[in-house]
Amino acid sequence: MNCPYCGHIDSKVIDSRDVNDGIRRRRQCLECGSRFTTYERLQPASLFVIKKDSRREEYDRDKLLNGVRKACEKRPLEAGAVESLVDDIETGLFQMGRTEVPTATIGDMVMARLKKLDHIAYIRFASVYREFEDITTLKEEVDTLADNMTFHSADQLPLIPPDEMTTIVKSPRRSRR
C-alpha cells in the first residue's frame, strides 16, 4: 500500500490489532514518516450453489435470508435471530472449503438450526423446501417433532396450533381431498 501522503511504496507496521472482522494496522511511511491505517479483511472465496436441476448459481446471502425470514414471519424470535442463523450457516459453508455445494446441503443446515430455534418456522421451511411429497411425509415429520417435544422442557414454543396445521396441510401441491 502506497503512502497516501507522498506515494512511497514502503511503510513499516507500528501497531497491529484484531478488530471485529479483520486486522487493523497502523503504518508509518519509510520516506516521509507520515502515519496511516490499513485494514485487512478476509475475502470469502466465491461459493456456488448447485440447484436440483444441476444449474449452478453464485451463493446469495440475501436469498437465503429472505427464505429464512419468510419461515420465521410473525414468530416470537429475538431480534437478529435470523441474521445470526444465516451467519452461522455461512461460517459452516466457508469452513467446508468447497467451491460448490448442493442446495440440499444448505437446506439441511437451515432445517437443523430452525428445528432448535422454532418449530413452526421449521415446519414452514421444511414444507416449502422439501416440497413434501404428500401429507404422510409431513405428518411423519410432525410426529417426530411431537415425540422429541415430550423430552424437552416446558419453555419450548408450542408445537403446531390447529389453525397453523390446517394452513400447512392445505398448502402442499398434491393435497388429498
Is the CB of 35 or the CB of 61 nearer to Zn ion? 35
Asked whether the CA dihedral 14, 17, 22, 24 is positive or negative, the reply is negative
Please state the closest distance from residue 10 (CB atom) to Zn ion, in A: 9
Is the CB of 34 or the CB of 38 nearer to Zn ion? 34
> In angstroms, how far is the first alpha carbon of the chain from the final one?
69
Q: Which stretch binds Zn ion (CB under 5 A): 26-34, 105-113, 115-123, 151-159?
A: 26-34
Q: Which residues inside 29-88 make contact with Zn ion, applying CB under 5 A?
A: 29, 31-32, 34
Does residue number 106 form part of the binding site for Zn ion (CB under 5 A)? no
DSSP code at position 64: H
Grid cell of 102 as nine digits: 448442493
Is the CB of 6 or the CB of 112 nearer to Zn ion? 6
**Residue for grid cell 432448535:** 116
CA-CA distance, 101 to 60, in Å (whole number)?
12
Does residue number 164 form part of the binding site for Zn ion (CB under 5 A)? no
Is the CB of 31 or the CB of 164 nearer to Zn ion? 31
- Strand 48-50 vs strand 100-102: parallel, antiparallel, or unpaired? parallel
User: Where along the sequence are the contacts to Zn ion (CB under 5 A)?
Assistant: 3, 5-6, 8, 29, 31-32, 34
